Amino acid sequence: MHDSHPDAVTLARWLDGEISDDAGGAVASHVATCALCRSEAEAGQAFAEALAAPVPSLPPGFVARTCARATASHAPMAPLWWLALSRPWRAALAALLLGSAVLGWRLGATVQPQPDPAELLAASLAVPELAAIEGQAPVEVRR
């Protein structure tokens, strides 16, 4: 039955002692003569021993210190694209943004608001000559 290599599940069950004596003996005799399966079995045995080993205990105060360090290092960070820029580029970009803001503020203070096109149209419709032609009273424009 086990002239060929046992599959991984069979090998794992054999390592865990879950296979009957007859079948287990066949796997054992194959593993004893097959370097590939012996290597697989040794790796599986090492893994099982690592899982069974007790978890080392943490040093006293480890959790409290770790939590304190994690919360202390929450300073606000600059976006990644900003960090990717070199220092002169950051200075130039900051100056450009500041200059644009100042220029926009100054332009906004000097530009006069445009008259409302709807009011211009209403005023043009209130021309007395137009009303006389049509024989109607001039249109009142409410403001």
Instruction: Using CB under 5 A, list all residues that contact Zn ion.
Output: 5, 34, 36-37
For Zn ion, the closer of residues 5 and 90 by Cβ is 5
For Zn ion, the closer of residues 35 and 51 by Cβ is 35
* Neighbouring C-alpha atoms within 13 Å toward the C-beta of 26: 11
The CB-of-22 to Zn ion minimum distance in angstroms stands at: 18
> What ranges in the chain are assigned the alpha helix state H?
8-15, 21-33, 35-52, 62-72, 80-84, 87-110, 117-125, 128-134
For Zn ion, the closer of residues 36 and 55 by Cβ is 36
Q: What is the DSSP string of 79-115?
A: -HHHHHS-HHHHHHHHHHHHHHHHHHHHHHHHSPPPP
The CB-of-29 to Zn ion minimum distance in angstroms stands at: 11
Cα–Cα nearest to 93, from 78, 110, 105? 78
* C-alpha to C-alpha distance for 73 and 77, rounded to whole angstroms: 10
For Zn ion, the closer of residues 5 and 13 by Cβ is 5
Residue position matching structure tokens 């002692």: 17
The CB-of-24 to Zn ion minimum distance in angstroms stands at: 15
For Zn ion, the closer of residues 39 and 100 by Cβ is 39
Determine which helix (DSSP H) or strand (DSSP E) holds 135, and give its type and residue range. none
The CB-of-17 to Zn ion minimum distance in angstroms stands at: 19
The CB-of-31 to Zn ion minimum distance in angstroms stands at: 7
